[in-house]
């Protein structure tokens, strides 16, 4: 065995020993290697070292369902591909297609078959065509599977190997400490060939949790990852990964075995010939979320979950006080790691990440404001009983319609400013398709489908959408054009590399200000965002513009003098002031 293979095997054995101390870890390591690199496939001789070359300032991600845009003549994945090429080529470089597998509920997150594409969307060749033109992200819904899947049916019938694939517990177990994102009962009683059993359901009774204490589950999941990589996937989103390992008497979230499994997946990705990025989805407070970077040996990227509620609060309150306070304390991502920045996703605007950051009274004002423009609120169960707000359900575009003082004339400007903050921050910006398309709340979908999250999962008719994008006065055209312009500009600035230096500026609580500097220190950008409806002036000296350099605002083309008059920001105006023109 070569030295590199020996190194990989030893590290695998160490991680597997942490998770499965009772197993023959050497034999299990060979199983893992064979699953991830089946006969005929090849791996790197040495693992990738952490570095800043997995992404660049040109990278950004669109988040979409495979059928967010439809017509009556073509497969939805083909419609999506046409939309991407027609409207976003050269603007967006990565595409996260939310679960595109056969499913029974939760809009794709109750998967029945990890190896198939939902035939109502298309097939693997359609996925591959998108992957040929864009950096493709897929969901690994690894915590749970549909109650109507073949795997679970086999479990009910006692058929090997799936008879040991799902996690069981007893109603008499002490489950009081378990952290839940839902209010439904944790256990579901089912009838099996061996009699009644209670299966663990973190999310819903149609989503049965897999039993990773059985190493066969892990090995099978690695086979599935390999198949996705072979079909063009280059970013693996580990959905709900924090809940992966369960243990009666504990919180069953963020347990050491979960982190060891993420480290194992990272190790395998570091040895793939393909460049594969691991992204963890952990909608939890900051310290817990950042723990998934590990010591540069877990996720390559983590969602910056506090951003949505904090940006929403800043824009609604007219003060960036809490956003500034939080950002000032945020560490730069470790070498080889990056934040994924966003304001909206297919889920609601999570409130848990705001814990310890926003005072209760400020959260209550946000909730009242969102409700005033037709938004909804979803709750979560608390350990020991009771409920609290888990997320706000509202399109982010609609959430920008009003401030704490009510509706005004600045809806579009406020929304554009909120998305510009995402572009300016250290990390990779991501945009939900309904943000780029200025989609309003879909109340009809909520009523028809009976779920709050449907409010932000509108399905556009492609002909109608193209007509709106062709109309220069529509919200869809205005928002798409301006966000596309800013994204193209951003992609030309080395100071916006996801790992470029960042420093939070404390100028005025109404201004969210950042200093970004390129890795080679050649370019600086002072990104200033007015989150208020007031016109503000900032002295050039306050932002430390160096005399002798030529400074200009990339967004307006205006020349800025280091010793001149105040830099004026109109209500909700953003400025990217740089000493280096785009090449």
From the annotation, which residues make up the binding site for substrate? Answer: 106, 144, 237-239, 346-347, 453
Q: At 489, is the secondary structure helix, strand, or coil?
A: helix
E-only strand ranges, 288-386: 301-303, 338-341, 349-350, 376-381
Query: What does the chain come to in residues?
Result: 583
Work out the burial of residue 122: count CB atoms within 10 Å of its CB; fewer than 13 is exposed, 13-18 middle, 19 or more buried.
buried
- How many CB atoms within 10 Å of residue 580? 19
**Which residues, listed in sequence order, are joined to residue 111 by a DSSP beta bridge?**
103
Pair type for strands 428-432 and 61-64:
parallel
Taking only Cα atoms into account, the Rg of the chain, rounded to an integer number of angstroms, comes to 24
Using alpha carbons only, what angle is made at residue 474 by residues 435 and 482, rounded to the nearest 5 degrees? 55
Q: Sign of dihedral through CA atoms 19, 23, 26, 27?
A: negative
CA angle, residues 529, 530, 535, in degrees to nearest 5 = 145
Residues belonging to the binding site are 106, 144, 237-239, 346-347, 453
Catalytic residue list contains 239: yes
Residue 174, token pair as written in the block: 């002490």
Q: Strand, coil or helix: what is 319?
A: coil
Under a CB-based contact definition with an 8 Å cutoff, are residues 429 and 486 in contact? Answer: no
Whether the Cβ atoms of residue 411 and residue 401 lie closer than 8 Å to each other: yes
Options 206, 239, 442, 508, the catalytic residue: 239
Distance CA 336, CA 333 (A): 8
Q: How far is CA 482 from the centre of its chain?
A: 23
Assess contact for 425 and 380: CB atoms under 8 A: no
The number of helices, as runs of H, and strands, as runs of E, in the chain is 17, 28
* Residue 195 φ then ψ, to 5°: 105, -175
| Catalytic residue IDs | 239
């Amino acid at each position: 065995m070569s030295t590199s293979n020996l190194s990989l095997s030893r590290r695998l054995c160490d991680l597997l020993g942490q998770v499965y101390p009772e197993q023959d870890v050497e034999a299990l390591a060979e199983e893992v290697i064979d699953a991830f690199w089946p006969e005929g496939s090849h791996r790197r001789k040495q693992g990738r070292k952490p570095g800043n070359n997995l992404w660049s300032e040109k990278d950004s991600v669109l988040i979409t369902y495979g059928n967010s845009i439809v017509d009556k003549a073509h497969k939805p994945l083909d419609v999506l591909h046409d939309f991407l090429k027609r409207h976003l080529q050269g603007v967006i470089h990565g595409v996260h297609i939310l679960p595109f597998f056969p499913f029974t509920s939760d809009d794709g997150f109750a998967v029945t078959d990890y190896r198939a594409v939902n035939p109502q969307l298309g097939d693997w060749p359609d996925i591959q065509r998108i992957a040929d033109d864009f950096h493709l992200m897929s969901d690994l819904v690894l915590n749970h599977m549909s109650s109507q899947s073949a795997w679970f049916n086999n479990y009910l019938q006692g058929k090997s190997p799936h008879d040991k694939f799902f996690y069981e517990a007893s109603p008499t177990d002490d489950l009081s400490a378990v952290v839940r994102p839902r209010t439904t009962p944790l256990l579901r009683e089912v009838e099996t060939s061996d009699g009644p059993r209670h299966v663990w359901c973190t999310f819903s009774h149609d989503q049965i949790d897999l039993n990773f204490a059985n190493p066969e589950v892990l090995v099978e999941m690695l086979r599935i990852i390999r198949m996705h990589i072979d079909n063009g996937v280059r970013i693996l989103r580990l959905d709900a990964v924090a809940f992966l390992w369960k243990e009666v008497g504990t919180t069953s979230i963020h347990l050491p075995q979960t982190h060891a499994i993420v480290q194992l997946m990272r190790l395998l990705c570091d040895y793939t010939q393909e460049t594969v990025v691991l992204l963890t989805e952990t909608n939890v407070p900051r310290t817990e979320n950042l723990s998934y970077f590990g010591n540069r040996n877990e996720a390559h990227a983590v969602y910056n979950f506090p951003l949505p509620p904090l940006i929403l609060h800043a824009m609604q309150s007219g003060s960036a006080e809490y956003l500034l306070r939080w950002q000032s304390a945020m560490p730069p991502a470790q070498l080889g790691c990056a934040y994924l920045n966003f304001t909206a996703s297919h889920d609601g605007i999570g409130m848990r990440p705001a814990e310890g950051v926003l005072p209760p009274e400020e959260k209550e004002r946000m909730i009242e404001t969102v409700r005033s423009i037709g938004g909804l609120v979803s709750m979560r169960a608390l350990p020991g009983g009771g409920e609290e707000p888990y997320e706000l359900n509202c399109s982010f575009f609609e959430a920008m319609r009003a401030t704490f003082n009510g509706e005004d004339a600045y809806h579009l400007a406020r929304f554009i400013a909120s998305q510009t903050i995402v572009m300016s921050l250290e990390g990779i910006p991501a945009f939900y398709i309904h943000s780029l398309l200025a989609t309003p709340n879909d109340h009809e979908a909520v009523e028809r489908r009976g779920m709050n999250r449907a409010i932000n999962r509108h399905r556009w008719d492609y002909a109608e959408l193209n007509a709106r994008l062709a109309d220069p006065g529509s919200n869809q055209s205005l928002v798409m054009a301006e966000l596309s312009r800013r994204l193209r500009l951003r992609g030309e600035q080395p100071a916006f590399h996801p790992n470029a230096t960042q420093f939070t500026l404390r100028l005025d609580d109404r201004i969210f200000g950042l200093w970004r500097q390129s890795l080679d220190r050649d370019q600086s950008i002072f990104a200033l965002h007015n989150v208020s409806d007031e016109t503000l002036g900032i002295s050039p000296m306050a932002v430390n513009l160096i005399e002798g350099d030529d400074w200009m605002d990339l967004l307006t083309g205006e020349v800025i003098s280091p010793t001149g008059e105040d830099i004026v920001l109109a209500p909700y105006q953003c400025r990217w002031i740089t000493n280096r023109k785009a090449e």
